Amino acid sequence: MTTLMALIIVLAILMTIIGGETGIRSFFSVLINTLLLILLAIFISWGISIPLLILLFIPLKLVTIIFLGTHDYEVAKNSFTASLIVCLAVSVLILGFEWLAQAAGLGPEAGEILVGLSQMPGLSYRLIAVAVAIFSALGAVAEAAVAMSSGLLEIKKHQPLITRDELMASSVKIGNDVLGTAINTILFGMFGSCLSLFLWYIRLNYTLGEILNEKMFVNETLIIMYSLIGVLLTVPLSSAFLAKNMTKRGVEK
């Protein structure tokens, strides 16, 4: 048994014990999302249109992340709608900034063989960078949407007579907490994954200008900014959708 397989089994057991049925569904959500990413990479290597794959895989990944990882249908439906709209909006933003940044491809730190791949005919690293940025931001957006919807629905269940204005005021307080944790998660995730890259810069005495113009650093920084913008858009949008849906159903009078 490999170390990876042992860790997967431990993860499955812990998620089952702690989360019960929801934990099992969340575990399968992780597996399905991993398979979807592998499938996406395979399709890109076959030369299938990357924009078409992005439009197809965004809703597929949101469905597996949100509906399999959430036991409340109302939370899942609201989170999916808000996340989909935010992801599409952020995708447009990503397209523009990736074109302006001109940071697609691989830098010299990746080695001569991999750098040569970024010049291969028929392989658009600019579109690949767009796809990587979109799917990197997608997880943070979905997490924020679920957190907001779950918190507001719990408030509504415990206070059925709460007004829409009071609900939106509560969403601001919940949103502040969600933003704080999401920002820390995104930043520390980036620092953890890029620690070896930072050591490379320090040991080779990179200047500040060289770091700011290095492709790998720029791409990682852009992904952080896209994720933060996505989370910032998700918090008010998911709150507004939930309050509107409650009004439509006649929950709030």
**Local confidence band at 1 (pLDDT 50, 70, 90 cut-offs):** low
pLDDT value, residue 248? 58
Region 137-150: mean pLDDT is 85
Of 82-96, 132-146, 230-244, which gets the smallest average pLDDT?
230-244
d(CA 247, CA 163): 10
The residue with greater pLDDT, 252 or 211, is: 211
- 78 occurs within a structural domain: yes
Region 142-154: mean pLDDT is 83
d(CA 221, CA 199): 17
pLDDT in tens, 111-123: 555 555 555 556 6
Q: Residue 131 is encoded by which pair of tokens?
A: 């796809």
- 212 occurs within a structural domain: yes
pLDDT at 235 over 60: yes
How many helices and strands (H and E) does the chain possess?
9, 0
pLDDT in tens, 162-201: 777 777 778 878 888 788 787 888 778 777 777 777 887 8
Of 63-67, 138-142, 190-194, 226-230, which gets the smallest average pLDDT?
190-194
d(CA 112, CA 110): 7
- 135 occurs within a structural domain: yes
Domain ranges, residue 102: 71-248
Residues contacting 238, CB < 8 A, separation 6+: 78, 79, 82, 83, 144, 145, 148, 149
HSE, CB side, 13 Å, CA atoms: give it for residue 236: 3
Q: Please report the DSSP string for 154-205 in residue order.
A: HHHHH-TT--HHHHHHHHHHHHHHHHHHHHHHHHHHHHHHTHHHHHHHHHTT
pLDDT value, residue 117? 57
- 10 occurs within a structural domain: no
- 40 occurs within a structural domain: no
pLDDT at 251 over 60: no
| Domain count of the fold of the chain | 1
As a whole number, the mean pLDDT across the chain is 80
- 12 occurs within a structural domain: no
pLDDT in tens, 3-31: 888 888 898 899 889 878 878 888 888 88
